[in-house]
Structure 1
């Protein structure tokens, strides 16, 4: 029995070692960095901490408590299709692990999933090498580890959702080759489908690469047109079958893209190099990564010196045919050009420049380098020819020399890392030169090479990640716990439908994580009409985020923000990220409090749907003037005269300038320093002459990059990143009090665009909102994708909602289907006759039915092909 176990271990050691090595190396590093559960730090950084962790919390809640959230969620800003979000963020099979980790232990789940993805990437690459008989068997775990911990995988550790592609790519390539060799394998279609389902974005890139790989294979191995035709049919049909199997996800996602990411496609292409191509060789140096490389950097390409030497050796081996070398050279050239030539770069990214994390497809280049290196070492006994040695010395030596001479130009290069890279390269080269004609010497050579390869890839990982800072466990758990307490209270206290506003946050996805309709959101798949709307009402917006941080009485009421979550103590770590002034809550009822937070109830709200004047159909798009837009909105809803105003511009009582050239007209003024190297500020003082609410509008020139704002000596709390004019509350119910708004320059000049002080006629707004309250939808049942209720409709009105318009909404009035339409370029509305009616609004993702039919059809075809193969 022991002999059998030893034999089995010997036969399978390349697999389990290829899994355990990446896991063990990264686990050791995480422990050394005191990552939770081994210390007080966490793996959360950048998007993993600000976005993905909240999606994982949502994933648990959706699968365990609210399955219809797969289709739609009102926690997505003010509501949105969720299938696109699931397809991009949440369909990795590894995510099922999160179901076993409650919210307090989610950080442990993140570490486990990260380690498993690294381990499975190594295992799948080992399977490729073994199944295709590439490389030396003792070195399979070393090459597998180099693949799993390549520079791209380390740099994108925080983009946990992308790491699945490292697991599935080798399997897709393996079964594509076996398909073309044996003509029978259905596994290619199945693995391709799983790759696409796990993350369609990475799957798109792999599909482009598969075309290149197929062309390489055919040019290398096919010598007859008949075989080329047969192979082309197999490749095309089985690839389409794989896409068809994923149709239930792909087709609804394609629709989602047409309203979100797809709307930002580049229409102008510059036929130019994006940078000097020689610069990319610096990324083959150990530790060539830091935070500055995330938003705008060079492709991550590190694979280790042995892989580079093997890639060079490949072109020097005489027994590899010229056809294969030509094919390899053409593919390699295309990939290299893709890393620096703008049109090809855009092609790989779906004709959109990435927002952060450039050259996201570079993992395919690294895979290609390692794959070709393994082919080279499978053709030789690890011995270098003189020509190969000379070429390696010239190219590798040139790389080291170039990076050394230009190290001052690249902030991620250090002298020590360049030296370590050079020394390990020399050691690798010396090992490859060793004579290995006898079996003992061959084992020694393989062992030494194995050791150097693993050390080198691990040193790169540690030197790259040490440049990144991480959230502490407390930074995550304290605000999450405070938000969880508020959410739990609200769900027990009020089971009706409502939205929740926040003046503090952990991230913009708090609502998603805590099952609250919170109004803020951050996602790459955010529908374009949502930030467009936020930009008009004076709330911060961007291409992929919105933030509802301090609405007016008008927006709070019409959008049904029934509760406000505010900080009890702004110095508490549980509410460290305070995003808005809480002056509005002075007109609300205090409801619940903890040591960190307070919850207020807003009695002046409407509903998710209300009767409105048909004038709402005529509201025009109006950016950078939220006061006018909100006035037009309330007038249109309440059928008020167009001349009715709710905001009045107020004058400052005194303006004082310090080291700034004085201006008599403030709004639109471009203020400049008198002495450039001295501090400068302007103080704007006003006295509240009524108990009305006072607001300040701030144009994009007044964001955090240009100015620090203080109110009565304390930092003005507002979300300080915005691209359109925002409206910020300053005071309420403060008659007789004096306020000073101070602007501290951060540059030599400051543009006061749209800088206006307003006071709102609170009583008039309250009067208008109470009119709207008389005819609102009384919700009786609701879940993630359906709302049912009744309304008494007056004559001459339409029923308008604050549900974002989407073709997936199906409306029934008293059981009869009606056709909805869009108002305000944002919301769902429909006609309802006067009288009392029962309204049912149900969401079904567009193209989901068609996608389901495509998937079922593809499954039938797959089953038939399997039956035909086995009979």
Structure 2
């Protein structure tokens, strides 16, 4: 009996101590913990997985490696060298860098890279990711603690769940998104302050930060803010109406303050493939409720990249699954609030699956391998409901906890039975045990009088442990990239480019890139670009010229001597393991690179072309024809490539019928290595054989000459140099057909490159070259001597931001091939100047200055009003 009383006394003392600890925890302590705990977890992940500076790895996976790091390199060099942010020739033949900056690089956190060496750039960006995730926990802590009457450990638990959800773990390599996600809780805090206290300053400045750092995620936040406002519990219709006016005003003011980037970004987006085709898709459903539920139970398998658009990162803690049931059953929460939040959850579930809603949430764009990018907003709603449950924990009954637990288990069972993307059994097992554990803790909480704080504290501790463990396992699932594997040549390239400087403008490229935008990583002017700001016109023309292209990329793969001359490619850099057939000649080696030089002389960034270039037939799926017609129309040189006849293919497991010259429609049921085999008979000696093929569902090509394999793999969609083929030889091209549909098209063409015609072309073009006197990233000055009225072509993407003056007078620019910059010029010698200002920048900075002035005036007025109110009291 005495022992039992001692146990009760001990339990009572522990409960009192826990209560005292929570009471002593002030808001500032909770906010600090919300920052430092995620920081410690992320630091631990970096140590465990060898992320720099604790190893050789980087958090920048997928596009973080292939796009963002190269772009960071450009930014680093520009900031260090004091160069303009308007334009860059480092990739894409020249790009509107401000447009790219506004999407990828505008975060103030990026200034931290200046404290690191170029070779430490991966480490710097990984540390920025860690810092932004920690700050996301802090901002969530600020938001929920500002609303809480009962400051406690639950605030830290909820903040950590926000910072380390599967969304953040899976998508953290999209470093440019994290600022908007980080500031989002402050935006919501500011919105509620605007409604309750008629003070929109915090909302305005927080939304401005989101719009400035990443307009894409900020767009999703704006949609959510409107929905949240409409569902808010207003005191009267009058309040709803007048606060709505203020809400709209401050929203537009925030956009106005960010106009210096938003307007140039919008002008840039309009030029991209997705920007020109913003049409709503047809109504259809991507996935099922069961599959979406599965994603809420996916503890340690976050999505980092998935071509299935119906997938989503929805896991934000198994404890959050209980939140909906507990929220709905809690008698202390208003029925109207319950209806609104449940409807909001339903809207998200519908948006994750329904094509039209999904398309709208993504800024009227397709997802391209990173599905449901707005799902962090769904997680916020769940955490908000969980926070309300903890605020009204006294309203939770024992049967509420039991019902919510059983409902969670039932949902998990339904997801496992009905889902098409079922998780592993051990995931369901762990999730089920966690559900039961959380349910039991809440159940015991409702029964206890003296130990409530113990059960609440244990609940929070278990939840935090769950978050930490799943974060570690999630990063393990993601994997990391080896910095030394991809960036080992940084210093060697710096030395090589420095040694090759000769004061002239030229371009260089890599024979084969380790990462897609590797050319941008190095300080070279280059051809290829993979990025969301790639213009649709350039993708199209580069595709027509025979280069490898995608929806937002055009790469150097597919270059010919003609395009190398046209685009002023002087040097090629080879990694030690590279092999590329080319007419470039070896110059020297620099560390890990072998350097080759284009033997052609007289190349330039611009050339005088015949006015008949306006009739250039560039819109063709056959690049040999496109380059032939360019030579004819621009310079009067015929037949650079001589077409070689190809016989109809032999088929195996499929049928093929000719629909055009070299084009076939096929149907197949069985995917075989030799579904289609083309034979190209060589009737005379060929010095420079080129092939080009592309098609839907085509994989694993094998190209052989007289039975010897010369090229293989996924090599479709760009010009392929094969080399010499003697008369009587037989070239075979074999395709495997494989894809989502059982039919499609394939095109194959072959040609012999005429060296004599190319020699004639070089002689003519060299006499028409634009002579560059001075150049920088946004300014090119030089002279040209036209024998007659001609068109001055520049191998620069057409952009309205280029202002061209001829002999001091502004000239009207136009598009050549619907993509390159051109200007008509009269006969005689002329001084020509090109200067670039991003379209929309001039208007943008003026709107920004005006909006910022209005905001400062409002801040002064509101501050003065509050001072008068204080003095009045």
Cα deviation digits, residues 241-290 of structure 1 (max 9, x gap): 11111111111111111111543534243233222223211011112435
CA distance in 2, matches of 1:779, 1:788: 6
SS of equivalent to 1:516: coil
The residue number in structure 1 matching 2:607 is 610
Instruction: Give the counterpart of 1:564 among 567, 572, 587.
Output: 572
The residue number in structure 1 matching 2:145 is 130
Instruction: Give the counterpart of 1:25 among 41, 48, 65.
Output: 41
- After TM superposition, the score normalised by the length of structure 2 is 0.89
**Residue 582 of structure 1 pairs with residue 590 of structure 2:** no
**Residue 87 of structure 1 pairs with residue 102 of structure 2:** yes
CA distance in 2, matches of 1:449, 1:663: 65
CA distance in 2, matches of 1:8, 1:378: 18
Deviates more, 1:181-190 or 1:481-490: 481-490
The residue number in structure 2 matching 1:620 is 617
CA distance in 2, matches of 1:362, 1:134: 28
In the TM superposition, residue 483 of structure 1 has moved relative to its aligned partner by: 4.3
SS of equivalent to 2:203: helix
The residue number in structure 2 matching 1:299 is 312
CA contact (8 A) 1:556 1:605 kept: no
In the TM superposition, residue 225 of structure 1 has moved relative to its aligned partner by: 2.3
SS of equivalent to 1:757: strand
Unaligned runs of 5+ in 1: 1-5
- Within 5 A, what are the aligned runs for 1:735-814? 743=734, 745=736, 753-814=746-807
The residue number in structure 2 matching 1:518 is 526
- Within 5 A, what are the aligned runs for 1:527-676? 527-567=535-575, 569-570=576-577, 575=578, 581-585=580-584, 588=585, 590-592=587-589, 594=591, 596-604=593-601, 606-640=603-637, 644-650=638-644, 667-668=662-663
- Within 5 A, what are the aligned runs for 1:365-764? 365-381=378-394, 384-386=396-398, 388-406=400-418, 409-410=420-421, 413-435=423-445, 441-480=451-490, 483-490=493-500, 493-567=501-575, 569-570=576-577, 575=578, 581-585=580-584, 588=585, 590-592=587-589, 594=591, 596-604=593-601, 606-640=603-637, 644-650=638-644, 667-668=662-663, 692-700=687-695, 705-709=699-703, 716=710, 720=714, 725-731=717-723, 743=734, 745=736, 753-764=746-757
Instruction: Give the counterpart of 1:270 among 259, 278, 282.
Output: 282
**Residue 338 of structure 1 pairs with residue 351 of structure 2:** yes
CA contact (8 A) 1:299 1:339 kept: yes
Instruction: Give the counterpart of 1:38 among 30, 33, 54.
Output: 54
In the TM superposition, residue 743 of structure 1 has moved relative to its aligned partner by: 3.3
Instruction: Give the counterpart of 1:230 among 224, 237, 242.
Output: 242
Deviates more, 1:444-453 or 1:415-424: 444-453
SS of equivalent to 1:845: coil
Describe the shift of the 1:31–1:714 C-alpha distance in structure 2 as closer, same or farther (beyond 3 A).
farther
Describe the shift of the 1:330–1:595 C-alpha distance in structure 2 as closer, same or farther (beyond 3 A).
closer
Instruction: Give the counterpart of 1:252 among 246, 259, 264.
Output: 264
Describe the shift of the 1:209–1:683 C-alpha distance in structure 2 as closer, same or farther (beyond 3 A).
closer
Describe the shift of the 1:498–1:847 C-alpha distance in structure 2 as closer, same or farther (beyond 3 A).
same
SS of equivalent to 2:451: helix
CA contact (8 A) 1:560 1:605 kept: no
CA distance in 1, matches of 2:360, 2:734: 44
CA distance in 2, matches of 1:850, 1:116: 34
Cα deviation digits, residues 160-192 of structure 1 (max 9, x gap): 221222210001111111121111241211110
CA distance in 2, matches of 1:387, 1:172: 37
CA distance in 2, matches of 1:284, 1:387: 24
The residue number in structure 2 matching 1:77 is 92
CA contact (8 A) 2:398 2:447 kept: no
CA distance in 1, matches of 2:620, 2:680: 28
SS of equivalent to 2:102: helix
**Residue 144 of structure 1 pairs with residue 178 of structure 2:** no
In the TM superposition, residue 295 of structure 1 has moved relative to its aligned partner by: 4.9
The residue number in structure 1 matching 2:8 is none
Describe the shift of the 1:544–1:718 C-alpha distance in structure 2 as closer, same or farther (beyond 3 A).
farther
In the TM superposition, residue 595 of structure 1 has moved relative to its aligned partner by: 5.1
Cα deviation digits, residues 299-350 of structure 1 (max 9, x gap): 2111113323233222222232233223323333322221222221111012
Cα deviation digits, residues 36-76 of structure 1 (max 9, x gap): 332344323211111111111112112112531x2112223
CA distance in 1, matches of 2:653, 2:355: 44
Cα deviation digits, residues 619-652 of structure 1 (max 9, x gap): 2342321111101111121145xxx222213468
Cα deviation digits, residues 652-698 of structure 1 (max 9, x gap): 8x999898999999955689999987878959687796574221122
CA distance in 2, matches of 1:601, 1:512: 20
CA distance in 2, matches of 1:664, 1:173: 60
The residue number in structure 1 matching 2:854 is 861
CA distance in 1, matches of 2:336, 2:561: 72
Cα deviation digits, residues 755-789 of structure 1 (max 9, x gap): 33321211222112211211221111111111111
CA distance in 2, matches of 1:508, 1:443: 54
CA contact (8 A) 1:613 1:636 kept: yes
SS of equivalent to 1:726: coil
CA distance in 2, matches of 1:516, 1:744: 37
CA distance in 2, matches of 1:143, 1:858: 35
CA distance in 2, matches of 1:367, 1:290: 18
In the TM superposition, residue 867 of structure 1 has moved relative to its aligned partner by: 1.5
In the TM superposition, residue 99 of structure 1 has moved relative to its aligned partner by: 1.9
CA distance in 2, matches of 1:113, 1:157: 10
Instruction: Give the counterpart of 1:815 among 808, 831, 838.
Output: 808
Unaligned runs of 5+ in 2: 1-21, 865-873
CA contact (8 A) 2:546 2:558 kept: no
Cα deviation digits, residues 846-869 of structure 1 (max 9, x gap): 111111111111111111111212
CA distance in 1, matches of 2:166, 2:857: 42
- Within 5 A, what are the aligned runs for 1:122-201? 122-133=137-148, 136-201=151-216
Describe the shift of the 1:656–1:370 C-alpha distance in structure 2 as closer, same or farther (beyond 3 A).
closer
Deviates more, 1:759-768 or 1:296-305: 296-305
CA distance in 2, matches of 1:392, 1:660: 55
CA RMSD of aligned residues (A): 3.3
Deviates more, 1:802-811 or 1:681-690: 681-690
CA distance in 2, matches of 1:177, 1:664: 65
SS of equivalent to 1:49: helix
Pairs aligned (count): 838
CA contact (8 A) 1:147 1:303 kept: yes
In the TM superposition, residue 140 of structure 1 has moved relative to its aligned partner by: 1.2
In the TM superposition, residue 820 of structure 1 has moved relative to its aligned partner by: 1.0
- After TM superposition, the score normalised by the length of structure 1 is 0.89
In the TM superposition, residue 414 of structure 1 has moved relative to its aligned partner by: 1.1
CA distance in 2, matches of 1:472, 1:688: 49
CA distance in 2, matches of 1:417, 1:399: 14
CA contact (8 A) 2:58 2:481 kept: yes
Describe the shift of the 1:559–1:66 C-alpha distance in structure 2 as closer, same or farther (beyond 3 A).
farther
CA contact (8 A) 1:659 1:678 kept: no
CA distance in 2, matches of 1:560, 1:638: 16
The residue number in structure 2 matching 1:47 is 63
